[in-house]
Chain A
Amino acid sequence: MSTILQPHPHPIEEKTNYLNADYGWKSWLFTTDHKRIALLYLFSITAFFFVGGAFAVLMRINLLSPDGLFDHDTYNKLFTMHGIIMVFFFLVPSIPATLGNFLIPIMVGSRDLAFPRINLLSWYIYIFGGIFTLTAVVRGGVDTGWTFYAPFSTTYSNTHVILAAMGVFVSGFSSILTGLNFIITIHKMRCPGMTWSRLPLFVWGHYATALIQVLGTPVIAITMVLLGLERVLHAGIFDPNLGGDPILFQHLFWFYSHPAVYIMILPGMAVISEVVACYSRKRIFGYGFVAFSSLGIAVLSFVVWGHHLFVSGQSMYASMVFSFMSMAVAVPSAIKVFNWTATMYRGSISWDTPMLYAFGFIGLFTIGGLTGLFLATMAIDVHVTDTYFVIAHFHYVMVGGMVMAYMGGLHFWFPKITGRLYPEGWAKFAALVIFVGFNLTFFPQFILGYLGMPRRYATYAEEFHALNVMSTAGASILGVGYVIPMIYLAWAWRKGPISPQNPWKAKGLEWEQSPTPPPTFNFDKPPIVTEPAYNYSGHEEEQEVDIG
């Protein structure tokens, strides 16, 4: 069955692959190869990650002293730019546009995405949006917070709101196009034998993500246009002095931005499913439940946005409904965590780096998810909303969850992407540094939040000093933790040992039937799937081969 996997007679570097098929800048900037586009995205989002991270470092430095070290406007711009860049230019595209772009066509057994040119277009749009945002940064920054709340953003802020909003508006289209490409590819481009119930969970997770991208992102685009109309033409939509309603802005903003939280975490969950299965050598426990929980999250994510408005003046009964729905959306997330854990039961568990990140993800996402329940519980949300408790909560999900998954996925598929192995010792060390640094940075913020320290404060009361110093200390460790992989991965890309075809003995088309690194059209022979996903135990329960 898996005999299609053949040893390669020639050393890898002699074989033509997507990296050495063509040279020169044109072969990259005008490529329609999903793998090359994935790399374009990889380099761009890494750059944005370090820009956004630099802002975070400056914020933490400012907070070393209760009186702050920078002036207030500078600090306000720092957290705004940190938020905008990290959310719209790192987290939203992170896993889908890099790993998803690279792997989905290979995982479903296709030569490319359904629309290769649209895929390239989405990268150009992303860069175009990024240029708007970076222009706003260079020309002096924005100070509205990444949430752009009206009427501050529409009327009172005298910074580059329009430029930043344009950046968000434009980059949204790249997200829509990526989602559209994924949905159609997953529906129409699966190879013979790749039935829905054999799809890797990575693909299921991205399918759910793509649905949110396509359905939700237009709303943020509309919101940004209305914001611009209000700011430039005083249209009277959000500003009460012009007859508008500021709460309307919050509804529109969160109607996208809460589902967007799931755009940012579902792909992380998708990566973890692959990693846990491979390093436990087990089929994912409850495959169907994990697959459908992604769809459940995607659907429910659209009916929870009002939990951001419990103290905004929204009707109490609306708040009650949103509180209930927010509890409900936690169930599919819990199902995933339990199933990953159960997958490890009686497995053959290796402690390789990607699995370390998966351990980290499961633990930290659990904390992030459970503290989400605190925020869904209305009487507690009233106290902790807009405090550091919220900051800690979403960093546990976004950094402890998504970034851990992203790092895990990068290591897992690094041999696939580059054809080389990364240094395992350094990688384990960096994973540990990141885990320690992360917890030291963000755990104290839960305590700070319940004690009452509001978010977005350039200065703070004396009694919050010790915990803030602790958090800054953690941030410096975390920063180092992110730089180490940059160095050894860059080194390994050029000088690392050549990777065998399937270094982890993993299952899946990308490891078993596509050469490492893949050729431009991904497969030497048309791929065919004859067994269920994650068939690590070698049971061939589905004997019939349905071709065509």
Chain B
Amino acid sequence: MGSFSIFPERASTSAGEVDALYGFLLIVGITMTVLIFACVFFFAIKYRRRSDQERPQLIHGSLPLEIAWSVIPFLVMLVMFAWGTKLYFQNYTLPYKDTLDIYVTGKQWMWKIQYPGGQREINELHVPTGRAVKLILASEDVIHSFFIPAFRLKHDVVPGSYQTYWFEATKPGRYHIFCAEYCGTNHSRMTGWVTVMEPAAYQTWLSGGSEGGSLVAQGAKLFQQYGCVSCHLTDTQGRCPSLRNVFGNPVVLEDGRTVVADESYIRESILNPNAKIVKGYHRDIMPVFQGQIGEEGLLQLIVYIKSLSTPAPPQTAATKGSPTQVPK
């Protein structure tokens, strides 16, 4: 118990910042608690009933006091709100720099991890230090939550959509992964380990090999297999939009809206093509793939479609701010 601490290990850039905010709230919280306890006990002892005949003086209240103890706590709470919101946006808005994308699929009761190079792992995640890592989270069944206490981050993994978050690991070591959203029988066994490695060691680990080629290659294979290639890359009749340079760029829809083609958009367009029709194209041409492709296959397809956008555009969140990027 010598090393007992109320903080878990800090292994990401955000961990220290969250702990600092937590420290601020602890100070406020402990101060207030001590103040209230002290007042209650002081009054309870000082003004304890000495005779049953006591009739204390009437005190109605005090408007200045009421205002003071409403406004001052509220101002302190505004600090908590502003600080917490700033940090939250920072932790969940993708950085402008190039991220290492890792694909996580949750299913009852395991985590399947896929790397761009095609490596796969179960319940193990390897990441380098000093590099922004973006997780793309998908679920094959129920809601899970990918929680890494050492990074002070988690996000629910919601079936039917992609959720993402990013982190930058700072300290080599092995840290817990927990599933934090109750998901059935073996929820508490849906755990794993993140291994944070120095970049050089990470490269060595990566070269440890992968069967089946990179994710792009696997995605390309599926792209052929499902017949996507005939319309979406080589089509000359103009039935379907070409997928070259689509990912990460704005797309104009038939109702005039513009959306950015991110992972969620591509996913939706594969599973339910009629949900968003690109301007100038027709409905009901592409078959619906809902229920036809597993989550891992989908992720491979998306990685492949990403690779069709060259040169690699900035990441999705970054492009939100710059809608002027139109493929040339």
* Complex interface: chain B residues within 8 A of A313 (CB): 155-156, 158, 161, 163
| Nearest-Cβ distance from residue A284 to partner chain B, whole angstroms | 8
Which one, B70-78, B118-126, B213-221, B240-248, is touching chain A? Answer: B70-78
Please tell me which one of the listed residues B47, B86, B163, B178 contacts residue A348 in the complex, with CB atoms under 8 A apart: B47
From A240, A281, A362, name the one whose CB has the most chain B CB atoms within 10 angstroms. Answer: A240
| Nearest-Cβ distance from residue B17 to partner chain A, whole angstroms | 8
Closest A residue to B151 by CB, please name it.
A383
Report if A392 contacts B (CB, 8 A): no
Find out whether the CB atom of B66 lies under 8 angstroms from the CB atom of A537: no
Report if B318 contacts A (CB, 8 A): no
Convert A318-362 into 0s and 1s, putting 1 for each residue whose CB lies closer than 8 angstroms to a CB of B.
011001100110110011011101101111111100000001001
Find out whether the CB atom of B88 lies under 8 angstroms from the CB atom of A319: yes
Report if A10 contacts B (CB, 8 A): no
Report if B315 contacts A (CB, 8 A): no
Find out whether the CB atom of B159 lies under 8 angstroms from the CB atom of A331: no
Find out whether the CB atom of A382 lies under 8 angstroms from the CB atom of B156: no
Task: Tell me whether A345 and B47 are in contact in the complex, defined as CB-CB below 8 angstroms, given that A72-B188, A456-B182 are known contacts.
Answer: yes
* Complex interface: chain A residues within 8 A of B70 (CB): 331, 334-335
| Nearest-Cβ distance from residue A278 to partner chain B, whole angstroms | 12
Report if A418 contacts B (CB, 8 A): no
Which one, A27-35, A109-117, A447-455, is touching chain B? Answer: A447-455
A505 to B49 CA separation, bound complex (whole angstroms)? 13
A348 to B52 CA separation, bound complex (whole angstroms)? 9
A339 to B88 CA separation, bound complex (whole angstroms)? 34
Report if B145 contacts A (CB, 8 A): yes
Find out whether the CB atom of A76 lies under 8 angstroms from the CB atom of B47: no
Find out whether the CB atom of B77 lies under 8 angstroms from the CB atom of A327: yes
Please tell me which one of the listed residues A157, A383, A459 contacts residue B18 in the complex, with CB atoms under 8 A apart: A383
Question: In A248-295, which residues have CB < 8 Å from any B CB?
Answer: 280-283, 285-289
Find out whether the CB atom of A537 lies under 8 angstroms from the CB atom of B43: no
Please tell me which one of the listed residues B1, B8, B40, B74 contacts residue A331 in the complex, with CB atoms under 8 A apart: B74
Find out whether the CB atom of A377 lies under 8 angstroms from the CB atom of B84: yes
Report if B32 contacts A (CB, 8 A): yes
Task: Tell me whether A152 and B183 are in contact in the complex, defined as CB-CB below 8 angstroms, given that A330-B73, A457-B188 are known contacts.
Answer: yes
Which one, A95-103, A118-126, A364-372, A511-519, is touching chain B? Answer: A364-372
Find out whether the CB atom of B155 lies under 8 angstroms from the CB atom of A311: yes
Report if B186 contacts A (CB, 8 A): yes
Report if B147 contacts A (CB, 8 A): yes
Find out whether the CB atom of B88 lies under 8 angstroms from the CB atom of A379: yes
Report if B328 contacts A (CB, 8 A): no
Find out whether the CB atom of B56 lies under 8 angstroms from the CB atom of A311: no
Closest A residue to B148 by CB, please name it.
A452
Find out whether the CB atom of A76 lies under 8 angstroms from the CB atom of B187: yes
A147 to B261 CA separation, bound complex (whole angstroms)? 34
Convert A1-43 into 0s and 1s, putting 1 for each residue whose CB lies closer than 8 angstroms to a CB of B.
0000000000000000000000000000000000000000000
Find out whether the CB atom of B91 lies under 8 angstroms from the CB atom of A335: no
A240 to B160 CA separation, bound complex (whole angstroms)? 5
Interface of chain B: mostly helix, strand, loop or mixed: mixed
Report if A192 contacts B (CB, 8 A): no
A374 to B161 CA separation, bound complex (whole angstroms)? 28
Report if B189 contacts A (CB, 8 A): yes
Closest A residue to B29 by CB, please name it.
A370
A338 to B69 CA separation, bound complex (whole angstroms)? 7
Closest A residue to B188 by CB, please name it.
A457
Find out whether the CB atom of A334 lies under 8 angstroms from the CB atom of B184: no
Question: In A120-158, which residues have CB < 8 Å from any B CB?
Answer: 143, 145, 149, 151-152, 155-157
Closest A residue to B186 by CB, please name it.
A72
Report if B96 contacts A (CB, 8 A): no
Closest B residue to A366 by CB, please name it.
B36
A143 to B185 CA separation, bound complex (whole angstroms)? 8
Convert A369-404 into 0s and 1s, putting 1 for each residue whose CB lies closer than 8 angstroms to a CB of B.
011011011111111011100000000000000000
Please tell me which one of the listed residues B29, B49, B88, B149 contacts residue A451 in the complex, with CB atoms under 8 A apart: B149
| Nearest-Cβ distance from residue B243 to partner chain A, whole angstroms | 24
Find out whether the CB atom of B56 lies under 8 angstroms from the CB atom of A323: no
Report if B25 contacts A (CB, 8 A): yes
* Complex interface: chain A residues within 8 A of B25 (CB): 373-374, 377, 380
Report if B152 contacts A (CB, 8 A): yes
Report if B200 contacts A (CB, 8 A): no
* Complex interface: chain B residues within 8 A of A378 (CB): 84-85, 87-88
Question: In A443-492, which residues have CB < 8 Å from any B CB?
Answer: 447, 450-452, 454-461, 466
Closest B residue to A79 by CB, please name it.
B182
Q: Give 14 A-B pairs besides A346-B57, A378-B84, A379-B85 with Cβ atoms closer than 8 angstroms.
A: A145-B182, A156-B141, A157-B184, A323-B84, A327-B77, A346-B56, A348-B49, A348-B56, A351-B44, A370-B32, A379-B84, A379-B88, A386-B180, A452-B176
Closest 3 CB pairs of A and B: A240-B160, A452-B149, A377-B84
19 contacts between A and B (CB under 8 A): A155-B142, A280-B47, A310-B88, A311-B154, A316-B89, A334-B70, A338-B65, A342-B65, A344-B39, A344-B44, A346-B57, A347-B56, A379-B18, A379-B21, A380-B22, A382-B18, A382-B154, A450-B22, A537-B57
